Amino acid sequence: MEFKLNEAIEVLERTPTILYSYLYNISEEWLYNNEGGDSWSPFDIIGHLIHGEKTDWIPRTKIILSNSDDKSFIPFDRFAQFENSKGKSINELLKEFLSIRVHNLKVLKSLEITPEKLKLTGIHPEFGSITLEQLLATWVVHDLGHIAQVSRVLAHQYKDEIGPWKAYIPIVNK
């Protein structure tokens, strides 16, 4: 599927609502459990998405579109949510995510991104040169990946309780 900004925005607009409907006022057992080890809980995932809204997608878009000679991105802290979310409730985080996403999409739309601008590049600290199109497409796929991750983590909580149906329900076998 070819990248189209207006279609990308359709997904980006829906992510907070999907996660809000999944997690708002959900019991703590669903919210804070994970898949074991150092995997993330739904609470952790929402915190991570908020951190990305603040430090990744729009800030990097602005770097690419800037007139600066230095198009280097600041490294992204994939674990900042563990500190940033302390003392907050899931309901607070979900509202914050929705608010900042609405703001960021207004900013994105105001940038009047053309097909030519999508080809502009920035410098990712790990991957090197990336295009604006790649960054924005990744934002969409990142959202979808974390929606799937929340679903998988929630399903994992009943992995043992479903007994022999595990053989037919792939989400609990990942």
Q: Hey, which residues does 2 pair with through a beta bridge?
A: none
| Residue 51 structural domain | 5-173
Q: How confident is the model over 1-18, as a mean pLDDT? A: 97
User: Which of 47, 22, 13, 59 is CA-nearest to residue 154?
Assistant: 22
Amino acid, single-letter form, for residue 72? S
Which CATH number covers residue 108?
1.20.120.450
- Residue 72 DSSP code: B
Q: How many domains does the chain have?
A: 1
Q: Which whole-number Å values give the CA distances from 140 to 28, 126, 153, in the listed order?
A: 28, 20, 20
pLDDT at 79: 86
* First-last CA distance in the chain: 26
- Does residue 103 register a pLDDT over 80? yes
Q: d(Cα 38, Cα 128) in Å, to the nearest integer?
A: 28
pLDDT tens digits along 145-168: 999 999 999 999 999 999 999 999
pLDDT tens digits along 37-92: 999 999 999 999 999 999 999 999 999 999 999 999 999 988 899 898 999 999 99
